[in-house]
């Protein structure tokens, strides 16, 4: 009840409840108490309806937790509820791409504004180094190329792999991690 009322309302609610328990409450105070309880119930109902609407939209648009929350938030919640051990596990950062000066993290899907030119360049056998925001991070580069190869069905040229300082073995290792 306290979460549904303002501090002043809750204080007045407590006073009126004590009067009611001591049988010293007047008819006007009893009406006031009922109004406070009714407002709290209305807020609870409004919140429940809002949560139901949000849950419906999440199902309708197939929104995943990683689209709503950062990996850190998801991990912290999982640790809080004992779903994973409290010790943080080393994790690899997702590929980060850049296009027209705007960064994109490739967590699930890429927006079409970067997806189309990136995939076109990749399929046409061009270098995608300009799209990669972290070219010195070979693990993330390998993951990026592995995802591109998997999603396009094309193989990245060895000359472009050398440009990124990534080996075919690193690409294959990243590809096995993606499928796991």
pLDDT at position 81: 79
CA distance linking residue 121 with residue 115, whole number of Å: 10
Q: What is the pTM of this model?
A: 0.48
For the segment 38-89, what is each residue's pLDDT rounded down to a tens digit?
A: 999 999 999 999 999 999 998 898 888 878 888 888 888 888 877 777 665 5
The domains of the chain are located at 2-63, 96-179
pLDDT at position 178: 77
CA distance linking residue 175 with residue 155, whole number of Å: 12
CA dihedral 35, 37, 39, 45 (to 10 degrees): -140
pLDDT at position 25: 93
Assess whether pLDDT exceeds 60 at residue 1: yes
Assess whether pLDDT exceeds 70 at residue 180: no
Q: Residue 7 — very low, low, confident or very high, per pLDDT cuts 50/70/90?
A: confident
For the segment 110-165, what is each residue's pLDDT rounded down to a tens digit?
A: 888 888 888 898 888 888 888 888 888 888 888 899 988 988 888 888 888 888 88
Cα angle value 51/53/55 (rounded, 5°): 70
């Amino acid at each position: 009840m306290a979460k549904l009322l303002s501090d002043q309302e809750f204080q007045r609610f407590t006073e009126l409840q004590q009067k009611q328990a001591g049988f010293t409450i007047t008819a006007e105070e009893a009406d006031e108490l009922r109004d406070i309880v009714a407002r709290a119930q209305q807020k609870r109902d409004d919140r429940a309806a809002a949560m139901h609407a949000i849950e419906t939209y999440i199902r309708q648009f197939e929104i995943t937790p990683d689209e709503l929350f950062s990996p850190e938030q998801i991990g912290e919640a999982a640790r809080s509820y004992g779903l994973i051990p409290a010790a943080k596990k080393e994790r690899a950062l997702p590929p980060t791409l850049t296009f027209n000066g705007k960064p994109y993290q490739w967590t699930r899907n890429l927006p079409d504004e970067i997806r189309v030119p990136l995939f076109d360049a990749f399929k046409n056998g061009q270098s995608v180094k300009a799209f990669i925001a972290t070219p010195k991070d070979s693990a993330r580069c390998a993951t990026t190329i592995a995802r591109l190869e998997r999603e396009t069905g094309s193989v990245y040229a060895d000359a472009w792999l050398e440009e990124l300082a990534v080996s075919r073995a690193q690409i294959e290792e990243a590809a096995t991690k993606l499928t796991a």
